[in-house]
Structure 1
Amino acid sequence: MEDFEAIEDFMMNGHKVYLPHMSIECVVFGYENRHLKVLLVKLRNVGWGVPSGYILKEEGLTQAAKRILNERTSLDNIFLKQFHVFGDSKYRISKRDDEIWDRLPENNWLADRTLAVGFYAIIDCSAANIKQDILIEDYKWVEVNEIPDNLLLDHNEIIAEALNTMRKQIFNEPIGYNLLPEKFTLPEIQILYETVLNKTFDRRNFSNKLIAMEIIVKLNEKRNIGQHRSPFLYSFHETNYLNALNEGVVQAL
């Protein structure tokens, strides 16, 4: 009963608290077991899409995105980038008149034309504590090549644009730093870049370039993964890595 009243209050009075006509859509990427995944949430009695929310009337865009993601994942200090404004799809051009919104009262603020500001985030799947609430009844992590093609509204387009942007920015933003553990092996960092970019690198050239540019540092530690298999561990040299990103040097990979 309390949930129903809270949903009704949001539907009827949300425009008093939030900016109408504009939403935040967050594409949350996670890297787990050598797979790049996207977080999908199920809007109660409606369908699956990316985590979304509205902007408080006295709140900045990035501040709103951070709040929405914190409410959904319980994480702070998330790597977060604004990447696109969505307003050209059939769901954004005219007043919402499809079946999703038929249940709304006439002239309700949620049914009006709404533009979306897209952000993409990168988190550790295992560190996230995904929360459900009065609007979200379920969630799941889905591999990027297994995303269903019938997500809510234009969320398939939003995910595709976010993935394309992240692939372009992996050489200019600390994406690898945010997706790998503090200590990793050479195969692990290569597999990360190959997974995100969906391409293959020459094994020896890839690692040699990273080491030569002093982007990664060999540690005096090994990982015991089996008989006669104890590869050395590496870590990012944070200063060199960030400098290389700023100078575009990493693109030489």
Structure 2
Amino acid sequence: MKIDDSKNKQNLKQLIDTKEYVAHISVDCTIFGFHNGILKVLLLKYHDLDLWSLPGGFVFNDEDLREAASRVLYERTHLADIFLEQFHTFGRKERTENNVHQILLKNKNIEVPKDHWIFQRFITVGYCSLIDFTLVDTFPDAFNETCAWFEVNKLPKMAFDHERIVEVGLNHIRKNIDTQIVASNLLPEKFTMKELQTVYETVLDEKFRRNNFQRKILALNSLERLEKFFDGSPNKAPYLYRFVSQK
């Protein structure tokens, strides 16, 4: 999906001219996608730059951070009603020193004073989520030419410190995998233990023995065992489960 360049330039000029943003604060959304044993992250490619970034943006004076994260994610990708969890604040002083904004504005022939707020130091608040990337449609906004899913261990060249944000976000997802899986609706309402184990192994990037995994998961007391799943095969039918919170 290509965006008209004149509209892109107009929207970019409008963005940098506004005075309604909280100074020096931004939000970045790290959306991890799972499907069929593959873990990916959603990235945007800048117009005229061989750089990719996370969906991110600025915070209006009259909105909460969580509201800003949801709004920015929708504006940048058209993803809506996504469970977002704040996971880290990124404040290294050199995090925006790779001149992405300067290059982007120069390529659009937009003249901005060197002391403009968009060139100054920004602290960003990271939000993350874990979803099934085959169940959503994404669309780039006027500042980017495409949205794409990349495997987490095969990232392209990234803008700012977004590679580090992905790394920290992935560590957060892994440390909080039990909560993330319940909240993300990655699985159908009824699922087998094998399906749940596949999600854990993909996100954590490690293998588990079936019996050890089942013992660990059942000890959490977050599952309800249901009827057996009969698929007509000669193998022993597995039990179906669902999360207790979905009752």
Q: What TM-score do the two structures reach when normalised by structure 2?
A: 0.83
In the alignment, which of 43, 63, 66 is matched to residue 62 of structure 1? 66
Give the structure, 1 or 2, with the largest relative contact order (CA under 8 Å, sep 6 or more).
Answer: 2
CA contact (8 A) 1:25 1:50 kept: yes
Select which of 152, 164, 172 maps to 1:157.
Answer: 164
Distance (whole Å) between structure 2 residues aligned to residue 97 and residue 195 of structure 1: 33
- Please tell me the residue identity of whatever aligns with 1:31: F
Q: 2:139 aligns to what?
A: 131
Q: Give the equivalent residue in structure 1 for 2:128.
A: 120
Deviations 1:195-225 (A, max 9, x none): 212222220122244346543223325263x
Match of 2:118 in 1: 110
Alignment CA distance shift 1:213-1:24 (3 Å):
closer
In structure 2, the residue matched to 1:249 is none
Distance 1:73 1:232, change over 3 A: farther
List per-residue Cα deviations over 1:148-187 (Å, max 9, x = no partner).
Answer: 3x2011000110011111111224x243452322222211
Change (3 A) 1:2 1:146: closer
Mapping of residues 181-192 of structure 1, within 5 Å: 181-192=188-199
Distance of 1:99 and 1:69 partners within structure 2: 20
Letter of the aligned partner of 1:110 in structure 2? Answer: I
Matches within 5 A, 1:190-229: 190-211=197-218, 214-220=221-227, 222=229, 224=231, 227-229=233-235
RMSD: 2.5
Q: What CA distance in whole angstroms lies between the structure 1 residues aligned with 2:133 and 2:230?
A: 22
User: 2:3 matched to which residue of 1?
Assistant: none
Q: 1:116 offset after TM fit, Å?
A: 1.0
For 2:198, what is the secondary structure of its paired residue?
helix
Q: Return closer, same or farther for 1:209/1:8 CA change in 2, 3 Å cut-off.
A: closer
Partner of 2:242 in structure 1?
A: 235
Q: Is the 1:176–1:193 Cα contact (8 Å) retained in structure 2?
A: no
Which one of the candidate residues 4, 17, 26 is aligned to 1:23? 26
Aligned residue for 1:91, secondary structure, equals coil
Contact 1:97 1:111 in 2 (8 A): no
The 8 Å contact of residues 26 and 52 in structure 1, kept in 2 or not, is answered as yes
Among the aligned pairs, what percent are the same residue? 36
Equivalent AA in structure 2 for residue 53 of structure 1:
G
- Is 1:144 aligned with 2:152? yes
Unaligned runs of 5+ in 1: 241-253
Residue-pair matches, total: 232
- CA deviations 1:9-60 (Å, max 9, x no partner) are 223x13x122232211110011111111110111222320111111011111
